[in-house]
Structure 1
């Protein structure tokens, strides 16, 4: 199919909103990704829009295809990999796997916008900014007292040797009469532009993501995992900001947490990689984001011949940074101590290329909503170790959720 070509236009919020609104009205599924020009190690998401009406059956997701495909793997897909279960309450039902085949592929290349389908002229016209979302009423699914009590219970599990590190998460639940996921995405991205920002539509269900974390990337025969463990607050004061960065870089506690997950990812990659090829190319890298500094390590390996997408996912999913170590036992404890079904939260979102390469983010710092149910939720968590402080970890959770709080409260102006 010959690409429709459009002369380059600056990426204004106005026509991006128009483009996404057109895609919403024209297709049952779409995936917009944007790396926000972030200089992320091994690259961020490219800016592109994939859309289509053909949802893939579960078996077809794993087979090679000549089409671009995009989709979500729910955290609860773990139950199809290991003998695990998810019996906590779901705010609303979500599919474990949701992938579609792209018939519209719109990309940005230098001075051209290329599209596999014609785009209406009105999309490119400047228009008045869309109105803000009505403020969404949301509340924590557990109170601070319950969080602190369960925190102590998890540390008891560590003392007993059942886990070494556990990513404990809580959910915030919201309800609304009207909600515009496209505007919510633009608001969230304006205040928290991330290397793995994305907006995903599954009919009435939406993912609005400002993720800083890569789950797994395949480029040729190379696999790349980049776990995040270690967080420090940003400050508008340059001296304080640098001090916070230095403190994170030197923190033995944060390094210990990061190292445990890095070792877990090394082990996961080794299951599908050539012997001796798993290497840590960067350990304890410190990267700046709008609200926080993060400690990121990069693990690479050479894939064994004839290993397919399904085998790779079954060996590595879910991301160790969202479980803890050892992975299987820790996920059992997570199910016992958390009070919500994670669903898409802490799962993965990504795009699979026709040649089999792929890139998936970790679904964190993200809003998940169902327009039919008029409900939404978002999760936030942190790693609990024997040295962790309950009050500090609770505050870290609130810090990570700050941009989502502002988005849902309608506190972000179009000029932000």
Structure 2
């Protein structure tokens, strides 16, 4: 990243959650690596929906509540012991669909769409960082509610657990950016965005934290990203100890789920967090999802949020069997 950035050469990059399998690919070689992506309308894949109007089936088989509850209890014990304030706990959900990963990529609507070989597809609503000129901005997303619920917007913004969780992440991201920026501020705090799914709409709460980078930031792109990763919104705070808790609590490998992918066009950079993630495994497809746990969390609500995030962003084309 430092090398391509210093030459102002466009490239695609992707980091897994554990930072063990990073990919950095110059623009002219992206197709060779079987990568299709569309980030905020820009990428190497057409965004045209196929003409066929075949109904897409989708069935999910969530992890047993008892298994999730055991992991949740461990996380709560660690929080009460003072080892973390916020832990993002995730789990895999087995799913079945008649659509291929390629079809899901082409049919889905999302801010960040990515298909990597025949290994996974991601349709993420969450920005990681964007850099334009020398301004860097991060947009952590914390807080989700069914938009059809009465007074949904008021309920999510007034919920003390959600407010505390969001404040913790904003503080963490602000500290992360302060490691690389000369000036940092919160541009917007707890604003709502609507995400459309096949089962209706969700409201999600985001904030915008901005900073000013030194003029030579492209020369040190790799160094800058290593100081920001993994993303605070899908790990927790304080980050080092929380990562240890996640490794113990979770019984599966996140892989590229909750990692980061992005594109540098030679002048500006755009990147997203790899959430809303379907992975092809030996025994079938899994959808990886999760949520933030604090001392105020309720295990039943958190389990339901994990399930609610298992969806396809393909409005009006899908039948769902749970």
- For normalisation by structure 1, the TM-score amounts to 0.65
Task: Say which structure is richer in strand.
Answer: 2
* Alpha-carbon separation, structure 1, partners of 2:308 and 2:269: 31
Q: Give the 3 Å change call, closer, same or farther, for CA 245–175 of structure 1 in structure 2.
A: closer
Are positions 1:378 and 2:287 aligned together?
A: yes
Q: How does 1:294-373 map to 2 (within 5 A)?
A: 294-307=204-217, 308-355=220-267, 357-369=268-280
Equivalent-residue separation in structure 1 for 2:55 and 2:3 (angstroms): 36
- The 5 A counterparts of 1:396-407 are 396-403=305-312
- CA deviations over 1:278-336 (Å, ceiling 9, x no partner): 10011111222222111101000011343411111111111101001000100000000
Counting matched residue pairs gives: 304
Structure 1: unaligned runs, 5 residues or longer: 1-58, 80-95, 109-113
In the alignment, which residue of structure 2 is the partner of 1:245? 153
Q: Determine the C-alpha separation between the residues in 1 that align with 2:43 and 2:231.
A: 33
Residue 262 of structure 1 and its aligned partner are, at CA, apart by 0.5
Aligned to 1:101: 26
Q: Which residue of 2 aligns with 1:8?
A: none
2:15 to 73, 81, 87: 73
The equivalent position to 2:192 in structure 1, one of 286, 289, 293, is: 286
* Aligned equivalents of 2:236, 2:101: Cα separation in 1: 31
Q: Distance in 2 between matches of 1:361 and 1:147?
A: 27
Post-superposition CA distance 1:359-400 (Å, at most 9, x none): 111111121336xx5743321101110101000111111111
Match of 1:14 in 2: none
Which residue is 2:164 aligned to? 256
2:50–2:106 CA contact under 8 A, matched in 1: no
* Residue pair 2:5, 2:266 contacting (<8 A) in 1 also: no
Match 1:267 to one of 163, 169, 175: 175
Aligned-pair Cα RMSD in Å:
3.4
SS in 2 for 1:351: strand
Residue 132 of structure 1 contacts residue 183 of structure 1 at CA under 8 Å; is this kept in 2? no
Shift of 1:343: 0.6
Distance across 2 between alignment mates of 1:390 and 1:115: 39
TM-score (norm 2): 0.82
* In structure 1, distance between residues paired with 2:66 and 2:273: 28
The aligned residue for residue 395 of structure 1 is 304
> Given the alignment of the two structures, is residue 162 of structure 1 paired with residue 68 of structure 2, yes or no?
no
Assess, with a 3 A threshold, how the Cα gap between structure 1 residues 101 and 387 changes in structure 2: closer, same or farther.
Answer: same
The within-5 A match list for 1:32-181 is 63-77=5-19, 96-103=21-28, 129=52, 139-140=61-62, 142-173=63-94, 180-181=100-101
Higher Cα Rg, which structure: 1
Counterpart for residue 194 of structure 1: 110
Matched, 1:184 2:92: no
What are the ranges of 5 or more consecutive residues in structure 2 without an aligned counterpart? none
Q: Which has the higher relative contact order, 1 or 2, with Cα contacts under 8 A spaced 6 or more apart? A: 2
- Alpha-carbon separation, structure 2, partners of 1:62 and 1:340: 34
What does 1:209-228 correspond to in 2, within 5 Å?
209-228=122-141
Partners of 1:368 and 1:281 lie apart in 2 by 35
Contact kept, 8 Å, 2:4 with 2:11, in 1: the verdict is no
